[in-house]
Chains A and B, each alone.
Chain A
Amino acid sequence: MAANQNLNEQSDQELVHLTLENQDNFLYIVNRYEKKLLSFILRISNVNYQDAQDLLQEIFIKVYQNLNDYDPELKFSSWIYRITRNHVISHYRKNKNKPQVLPFELEQDLFETLAADFDLGQTVETKLTRERIFAALDKLKPKYREVIVLRYFEEKSYDEISDIIKKPTGTVGTMINRAKKQFKEKFIY
């Protein structure tokens, strides 16, 4: 029990190192990220819960196979999100599914952050509903929806998003600004 607690307190990098020594330690990485990644999969794809779980399994197996490719200069979470994103995109291409924003519940604090950051002002207080936010997000191009999800739902920094989608940080900033602009247009009309 004490050993488990100790491993749970290890950094991601340390867990990678320990997993390469003993594969059983991979369980700690899975436990640390399965919930986050499952929600991320559901947010950027239109798969159902069961399919998302299957994808998650495939992703973790891929992560395990590629552990030696992990560069400690990068945040492990960025690396694992990148693998997840790429796997979801591959799955989408294979299945030709149209990604869409999904009707998950928006927590109140996240809802307020979105409204404030998107500068929706009075409109938010009077008219904005969660359904309208999702409807607007649903109309965004996938590349813009993706950065919105990473920035506002996964709460990633610009640098982290840059590492996940493999674009320069400046491009990420531009994409987020365009996404916000598009979102406002979709939200209003």
Chain B
Amino acid sequence: MSDRENFNPPESAGQSILEKIKQRHIIPKPKWEFLLKDYVTWVIFALAIIIGSLATAVIIFVANYTNWRYYEPELGTLKGLLISLPYFWLAIMVIFLVIAFYNLKHTKKGYKFNIFLIALSSIIISISLGGLIYAAGFGEKLEDIFYRRIPFYQQFLHQRGRLLINPEQGRLAGVVIEVQPEYITVRDFHGQLWKIATTTQNFYIGNRVLLRGKKISEAEFTETDIRFWISHPRLKPPPPPRF
């Protein structure tokens, strides 16, 4: 008779288990431990959805207010788009969607839901909430705060901005650091200062701008056209960024 045929445990199995429990002073873990674990999972899920939604709000803002077609004739549509895509925010959105998905799946009853349904609902919640946050103006505020206060984010944007610069071909991209009645000073994304004669009053210190014009000297540029790279139409002029 094989082991598998003999399913009858010895009579003492239950008693011996109980004795072990008593000898080792094993007690049931308190209920609050399990409840806490479940609550933490839900809280992480909620936080992940909120952060993912904030990232979505910024993505909507950047998609609406990035002038990615400005250099289209010189760079082509694809390159212009690839340089301007909000990778940072897309990465944040994806990471926190994955965290939200993982946590929802690991709630007590999360396994009952279809994986695709969970993924789809996480995406829909993030986009809907992100749309509301954007409509309330928080998308641009958050982007602005990150640009001014998070050096990594600033450097990340500047690195991509450098791909737009070519003064010899009449293209400049940088940040307005001084505004005077007859000229503005722009620090390009390589860090070089340019004095640009213009009478436009539409720009403020801290604006990220794209220029088309002609290089006059190593520090001077005449603009024929100047636009925002990413504009914040609803924001007051920010203080100058820290380099």
Q: A26-B18, A42-B4, A105-B5 are in contact. Are A66 and B13 (CB under 8 A)?
A: no
Which of A32-40, A111-119, A181-189 sits within the interface? A32-40
Per DSSP, are chain A's interface residues mostly helix, strand or loop, or mixed? helix
Contact check: which of B3, B9, B21, B31 meets A61 at CB < 8 Å? B21
Q: A30-B14, A34-B14, A56-B13 are in contact. Are A42 and B30 (CB under 8 A)?
A: no
B3 A27 Cβ-Cβ under 8 A: no
Q: State in angstroms the CA–CA spacing of A20 and B29 once bound together.
A: 11
* A65: Cβ under 8 A from any B Cβ: yes
* B242: Cβ under 8 A from any A Cβ: no
A49 B6 Cβ-Cβ under 8 A: yes
Q: A39-B7, A48-B3, A103-B4 are in contact. Are A168 and B28 (CB under 8 A)?
A: no
With both beta carbons as reference points, the residue of chain A lying nearest to B112 in the complex is identified as A168
> How many residues of A are in contact with the other chain, CB < 8 A?
39
CB within 8 Å: A-B pair count: 90
* A125: Cβ under 8 A from any B Cβ: no
Report B-chain residues with C-beta under 8 Å of the C-beta of A30.
13-14, 17-18
* A71: Cβ under 8 A from any B Cβ: yes
Looking at the assembled complex, report how far the CB atom of B130 sits from the nearest CB atom of chain A, in whole angstroms: 28
**Size band of the interface chain B makes with A:** 20 to 34
Report B-chain residues with C-beta under 8 Å of the C-beta of A23.
18, 21-22, 27
With both beta carbons as reference points, the residue of chain B lying nearest to A168 in the complex is identified as B114
Looking at the assembled complex, report how far the CB atom of B37 sits from the nearest CB atom of chain A, in whole angstroms: 9
* B190: Cβ under 8 A from any A Cβ: no
Q: A38-B9, A105-B5 are in contact. Are A69 and B29 (CB under 8 A)?
A: yes
Report A-chain residues with C-beta under 8 Å of the C-beta of B29.
65-66, 68-69
* B113: Cβ under 8 A from any A Cβ: yes
B15 A27 Cβ-Cβ under 8 A: yes
A65 B26 Cβ-Cβ under 8 A: yes
* A152: Cβ under 8 A from any B Cβ: no
Looking at the assembled complex, report how far the CB atom of A133 sits from the nearest CB atom of chain B, in whole angstroms: 14
Q: A23-B18, A48-B3 are in contact. Are A34 and B111 (CB under 8 A)?
A: no
B111 A162 Cβ-Cβ under 8 A: yes
Report B-chain residues with C-beta under 8 Å of the C-beta of A56.
9, 13
- A102-B4, A103-B4 given; 6 more Cβ-contact pairs under 8 Å: A34-B9, A43-B4, A49-B4, A57-B16, A64-B28, A162-B111
28 A-B pairs (CB sep. < 8 Å): A20-B28, A23-B18, A24-B18, A26-B17, A26-B21, A30-B14, A30-B17, A39-B7, A49-B4, A49-B6, A52-B3, A53-B9, A56-B9, A56-B13, A60-B17, A65-B29, A66-B34, A67-B28, A68-B33, A69-B34, A71-B108, A102-B4, A104-B2, A105-B4, A168-B113, A169-B112, A170-B114, A171-B114
> A: which residues have CB within 8 A of B?
20, 23-24, 26-27, 30-31, 34-35, 38-39, 42-43, 48-49, 52-53, 56-57, 60-61, 64-69, 71, 102-105, 162, 166-171
